[in-house]
Amino acid sequence: MLVLRDNPSPPSPGQPEEIPAARDRAQSERAIVCAACAGTVTSSRHRIATHGSHEHRFMNPAGFLFHIGCFAEAIGCVIVGPDSLEYAWFPGFAWRFALCGQCGGHLGWHFRSEGRGAFFGLILNRLRQSPTDA
C-alpha cells in the first residue's frame, strides 16, 4: 500500500519503493496485441485523438459497422494495398489496409494525408491489452 506523507521515509531494506509515476507510465505503456494470435500490435501510449476522439464508429459500403481506435504507431501492422480516397472516413486522408504482421489478420487501416500526418485506425474488438508484465 502506498501512503502519502509530508516527509516520506525511505523503504525498508529489501522492499521496493512504489513510485506512482513509474506505475502510471508502465500502465500507459502496456502492449496491445492481436486478439487472434497475441502478436504485439501497438502500445497504450500510442493512443491518440483524431477528429476530437480516440474512438470512432463507421459503417463501410457493405454495411459492416467498425468500432475503431486511433493510434499514432502500430509497429506490429503491415500496411498493404494502394492508397484510396474512396469512402474515406476521415476527409482528406487516404487509407490502406493494416494487417497483423504475425498472422495476417485484418486489424484496421492506415490513414495518411499530405501535410497532415498519418495514423492507424484499428478495430478494437480485434485487439486486446496484454496482461501487466510480470
In tens digits, the chain (134 residues) has pLDDT values of 333 334 444 443 443 344 444 445 555 578 999 999 999 999 999 999 999 999 999 999 999 999 999 999 999 999 999 999 999 999 999 999 999 999 999 999 999 999 999 999 999 999 999 876 53
Please give the pLDDT value at position 76. Answer: 98
The third-level CATH classification (topology) of the domain covering 39-129 is 2.170.150
Please give the pLDDT value at position 132. Answer: 61
All 3 cell numbers of residue 44?
A: 497504450
Residue 46 vs residues 19, 34, 66: alpha-carbon distances, Å? 22, 15, 20
All 3 cell numbers of residue 14?
A: 529489501
Backbone angles phi, psi at 66, to 5 degrees: -120, 135
How far apart are alpha carbons 20 and 71 in whole angstroms?
25
Q: How much is the pTM? A: 0.77
